[in-house]
A and B are shown apart, each in its own frame.
Chain A
Amino acid sequence: MHDLKTVTALGGTTPRVDTFARVTIAENDGVALASVAARMGHEKTCHAALEKLLGAVPAVGRAVLHDPEAGFWMGPDQWMLGAPRATHELLADQLTALLGKAASVTEQTGAWVVFDITGPGMADLSERLCNVPIRRMQAGDVQRTVIHHMGCFVIRRQAEDHIRILGPRASAGSLHHALVEAAQSIA
């Protein structure tokens, strides 16, 4: 066992939480991520494996909010899979073992910062941030978009007032700043 400790994307030892009157912004440091792209000619095998793992293959623009592994569609024949980091630190290796030569798997855990935004002001906040039709989105809808020049995924989670934003980890501070300012705006 190594003794290296992780830091969160915002640089802390514990995830940051900011609470406002109508919305809570919580850094989520507990997600392991890996991308899966079907190899050409092995799409069916790949789909079958994903279906077995998640219960369904995430459709275009959709997430499968399965537990413990979840996944969402990133592009044609490409998905992002996530799972609790505590149990799936080696998610990419696990997926590679599962999928074999049917897919290309790439570790993505370190590439993203994850924020959970909850509360009755969630939709108002989203409208100040990015071009997603937030009030029309259903649980499991996913849209990749831009927030203040940062490419992000916006995932509408199960709860009506909950979105999860995946943003570029190196810009975690800038993204957090944008979220907090928007939260103050709609307070």
Chain B
Amino acid sequence: MTPKNRLDGGQIDPAITHEFRFDGKSYTGHAGDTLASALLANGVRLMGRSFKYHRPRGVLTAGSEEPNALVELRSGARQEPNTRATTAELFDGLVAKSQNRIGSLRFDLMAVNDRFSNFLTAGFYYKTFMWPAAFWEKIYEPIIRKAAGLGSLSLLDDPDVYDKGFLHCDLLIVGAGPAGLSAALTAGRSGADVIIADEDFRMGGRLNSETFSLGDQSGADWAAATVAELAALPNVRVMNRTTIIGAFDHGIYGAVERVSDHLPTPLDGKPRQVLWRIYTKQTILAAGAIERPIAFENNDRPGIMLASALRTYANRYAVAADRRVAIFTNNDDGHRTAADLHAKGIKIAAVVDVRADAPRSHDFEVLHGQVIDTKGRHGLTFAEVRLESGDMRTLECGALGMAGGWNPNVHLTCHQRGRPAWNDALAAFVPGGVLPVGMTVAGAANGDMSTAGALRGGAEAAKRALGLKGKLPTLPEAEDAPVNITPFWYVEGCSRAWLDQQNDVTVKDVKLSHQEGYRSVEHLKRYTTLGMATDQGKTSNMGGLAIMAELAGKSIPEVGTTIFRPPYTPTSIGVLGGRARGQAFHPKRLTPSHTWATEQGAIFVEVGNWLRAQWFPRAGETTWRESVDREVLATRKSVGVCDVTTLGKVDVQGTDAAEFLNKIYCNGFAKLAVGRTRYGLMLREDGIAMDDGTAARLADDHFVVTTTTANALSVYRHMEFVRQCLYPDMDVQLISTTEAWAQYAVAGPNSRKVLEKLVDGDISNEAFPFMACANITVCGGLRARLFRISFSGELAYEIAVPTAYGDALIRKIMEAGAEYDITAYGTEALGVMRIEKGHAAGNELNGTTTAANLGMGRMVSKAKDSIGSVLSEREGLNRADDLRQVGIKPVDPADPVPAGAHLMKADGPVDAAHDQGYVTSACYSPNLGHSIALGFLKDGANRLGERMRLVSPLTGVNVDVEIVSAHFIDPEGERLRA
């Protein structure tokens, strides 16, 4: 059965019928329909409710500028709030719900707000809800918040995936109407790389909505033929369902392609949408124009819409919004709508034109006058007309078209510095000011409102943009009607005449805003919320500006516009996030022993992007502490192994390598012997510690520098800065080798014995003493590096082999160590051992600490200039009571000494004013049998032995502690040198 308002013709496919549901009720439509056109075809005019007054709302437009017909599309996790019914392509099984209502759409309980509209004027909340003060948070605000928003999220994880991509072209054409298509033809035939994008699923722009012909074809047929020709060109990429959302610096455009939104669900593995970054040299903006409404009393009833939308529904979608239609216009275009509808067999109740010299028609009545009010609770039934003569007429109609003139779509011209210019002939803003680099504008977007003008303008723009010589391509004959318009914005004396239909901003609100001094156009917007709806003022702003101008006694361009901002239409957050979700949010970096560690049942922890083994639980261990304690004790007793590949490594070579290190480290490196390693502290230029690590001198002109895991990238960048910008003639070459080598720390009194089984050569204490380094071979010839350095405080080595051998080496080490009960240890045990040894790490090098704070003040060489040495001497960084790194232990061994707790004098007040310092790192020491910590304490070096109070009110800790040396284990360092 054909729905009641379905006409013949159009660009729908009557052979394909789609069933769909709206608010639980079933309807049918056809391929090529939008949800809005299908609903209208079925006689459904009421599609939503407004934000504030919950007034009944139907479609206002037939495009992406729609402020009213917003629905919750789909259900379950794919529910998509605020979806414009006017752009939602119909598919079989589509489900949609109306939104912002309590109860049914027809009987929305919140509609009571409309009764109180006298109270809910612009800015009402700034003046109220203040008495009594306590009521705001408890009563008023919860009520306001409950009413907030339009549609709702399902709050289920979005099940679809989104892609991102990158495209490059010579010319980007935004919009595939007559101007865009003729530009694309011209450019495409020249061989240039062209992308033409249009937000619609059917390219052709207004050509699909109009009845006039291009040459001997209908506009729609010409568009289809042109698109086919373009699609066949290898150098042209035709992108429908693609919105250019923003013009960014230097010819970069954001585009969203809706790959799957017209399908019930995306095909397997396919994204729902793709965010493209398009890099183009030239851009032609051919985005067309949007018709604007006229403000009159009760102009917001379902059935009242833009006249051009009526035309689109009739011509493109074969839908009559109603069988009796009236038009209210201030320009000739309104008459075109009436003629088109009349030709489709729709009864024109009358065309009401504000102009005395309006054209006359044989087919319908033209009245000189204004629509001053309407009737119809859930949809238009009558329009009241006041004729110029003063007589009144009542028009019976179910739809009314408003034709207030056209606004060129200047948005993208304003995304950078452009400010639109006023055009009196069109009574509209056209592109002006400084356009984005490489952008030209053509067609209706440039104020060229006729089809012939658009075709010509598009072709000329393409020629200009690409510097093409020769004649324009032959363009088909097309209508070239002038724009005849008399500016008319609102009906005098009206009050509840809507400007912003979604946010319920009326003419009265604008006047009130002016009355209260909110007179800048930005104040108007912010005070009334005019233009802040989901259409960002596309259909509402001009009316507000015109009224503001009149009240201020200024012209519209003097009042100016608010700023157009991206995105051009609302854009899903999902597509902007792309694939970076869940586990793929950031790449994972796996260490060479990852597979092996997984086999051992290791627990992993995120360290930046790295995953490191945190500890290795064994059967019978029930808490992480049990595992960690075991790993620590076993290492200190015999031997342990830990993957330390994540430390940054930089290969520093060149004849000036040593001098270079002298600059980047505060301590000296020039005299470091070949085959030796030295601890180094790097300062920022502001004198604060930046990073620490070791530098191993493998040859006179070759060092391997290590950085902390966290700072690998920033230290490398800093080194390149020093090399290229500060000492450009130093013979130094840098390259990161972090991932090139699998590196393991082998620590503990038996570490030498284990390594002796693997290393080809003598590593006795004499041959390879503490801080030695060398290129060696292992296991009978595999190239490797050995460093005798220790983070744990034990006799220890770090051994490195090319990464691909890392898996094999860890297995070899474990095999070789079996007789010594070798234990793999993770980052927790590593942390415990370094705290026991008093080594500073990330928690201590927190970006605010100096070498002096860290107890390494004497390392800052005075004998040379190095980065940061001068500013490290500022008075504020060298006060007598400055923080010093100390060790902290609980007086009662059972007490914790947690990181983040603050130190107070034992018998002093506990407050911020008496803060003495804080704990940076803490752990339980299985060797000492109690918790220990490192921290910073005012004048700490002189307070060893002092009893203090350690407080963490946040976590409920308040314990007595003793300040001790930070070196809990082997303070003399005998084990290291054993």
Contact = CB atoms under 8 A, between A and B. Distances in A.
Interface of A: 1-9, 11, 29, 35, 37-41, 78, 90, 93, 101, 104, 106-112, 127-133, 135-136, 148-150, 168-175, 177-178, 181-182, 184-185, 187
Given A4-B779, A127-B165, A185-B271, A110 B742 contact: yes
Interface centre among A7, A8, A106, A170 (most CB of B within 10 A): A170
Interface string B885-921: 0000000000000000000000000000000000000
B591, B645, B808: residue with the most chain A Cβ atoms closer than 10 Å: B808
A147 to B, nearest CB: 9
B472 interface: no
Contacts of B975: none
A6 B735 contact: no
Name the prevailing secondary structure of the B interface residues. mixed
28 contacts: A4-B778, A4-B779, A4-B782, A4-B801, A4-B812, A6-B804, A6-B805, A6-B808, A7-B808, A11-B594, A29-B804, A40-B654, A40-B731, A78-B735, A104-B733, A108-B737, A111-B736, A127-B165, A128-B164, A136-B168, A168-B587, A168-B739, A170-B589, A170-B591, A171-B587, A171-B589, A177-B584, A184-B268
Nearest to B235: A135
A185 B163 CA distance: 8
Given A111-B740, A148-B584, A178 B804 contact: no
B781 A2 contact: yes
A2 B780 contact: yes
Given A37-B653, A39-B733, 13 more contacts: A2-B779, A2-B780, A4-B809, A7-B808, A37-B735, A39-B655, A109-B802, A128-B163, A131-B166, A148-B579, A168-B587, A173-B588, A185-B269
A108 B740 contact: yes
Interface residues of B, number: 64
Nearest to B738: A111
A7 B610 contact: no
B804 A104 contact: no
B972 interface: no
B730 to A, nearest CB: 8
B740 A4 contact: no
A29 B804 CA distance: 10
A106 B737 contact: yes
A114 B758 CA distance: 30
A109 B589 contact: no
Interface string B87-120: 0000000000000000000000000000000000
A185 to B, nearest CB: 5
B609 interface: yes
A171 B740 contact: no
Contacts of B802: 107, 109-110
A75 to B, nearest CB: 9
Contacts of A2: 777-782
A150 B645 CA distance: 18
Contacts of A39: 654-655, 731, 733
A171 B609 contact: yes
Contacts, number: 154
Contacts of A4: 778-779, 782, 801, 805, 808-809, 812
A146 to B, nearest CB: 10
Contact of B587 (A6, A127, A149): A149
Contact of A148 (B271, B580, B645, B806): B580
Interface in B789-844: 801-809, 812
A110 B739 contact: yes
B618 interface: no
Contact of B651 (A38, A106, A132): A106
Interface in B266-284: 268-271, 274, 277, 279
A78 B778 CA distance: 30
B783 interface: yes
Contacts of A29: 804
B167 interface: yes
A7 B595 contact: yes
A39 B657 CA distance: 11
B586 interface: yes
Interface in B576-601: 579-580, 584, 586-591, 594-595
A29 B590 CA distance: 17
Contacts of A107: 737, 740, 802
Contacts of A1: 780-781
Contacts of A172: 590
A111 B739 contact: yes
A106 B733 CA distance: 10
Given A3-B780, A185-B269, A127 B167 contact: yes
B741 interface: yes
Contacts of B193: 135
Contacts of B781: 1-2
A178 B165 CA distance: 12
A17 to B, nearest CB: 18
Give the most central of A4, A106, A169: most B CB within 10 Å.
A4
B758 to A, nearest CB: 10
A108 B738 CA distance: 10
Nearest to B804: A6
Contact of A109 (B161, B701, B740): B740
B729 interface: yes
B168 A135 contact: yes
